[in-house]
Amino acid sequence: MYNDTFDRPVGHALHRLTEALEKRAKTIRRRRQFKTLLDLDDHILDDIGVFRHEVERSARLPLSVDAATELRRISLERRRRRM
């Protein structure tokens, strides 16, 4: 006879753990991809509307913060101030 009273909570916990690990891995991959912006020449960064120090600042943020979203916010804020 199969008793799944124990298996269900364990299965749910493992599922949640797996999802959390996958999310963390995705976040780390995205940050690594974001940091490739630092390999670009300053002229190219200027063409896309950001400065190197803005990219560096965003890249140093905790992983809980989306660096790309923050870079966009910083860039837009700077452009609004210039108007």
**DSSP labels for 38-63?**
GGS-HHHHHHTT--HHHHHHHHTS-T
**Cα end-to-end distance, the chain, whole Å:** 74
pLDDT(1) > 60: no
**Where are the chain's structural domains?**
7-82
* pLDDT tens-digit series, residues 12-59: 889 999 999 999 999 999 999 999 999 999 999 999 999 999 999 999
- Residue 83 pLDDT class (50, 70, 90 cuts): confident
Q: What is the pTM of this model?
A: 0.78
Rounded to an integer, what distance in angstroms lies between the CA atom of residue 59 and that of residue 52? Answer: 10
The answer to whether residues 52 and 71 touch, using CB atoms and an 8 Å cutoff, is no
User: How confident is the model at residue 4, as a pLDDT?
Assistant: 61
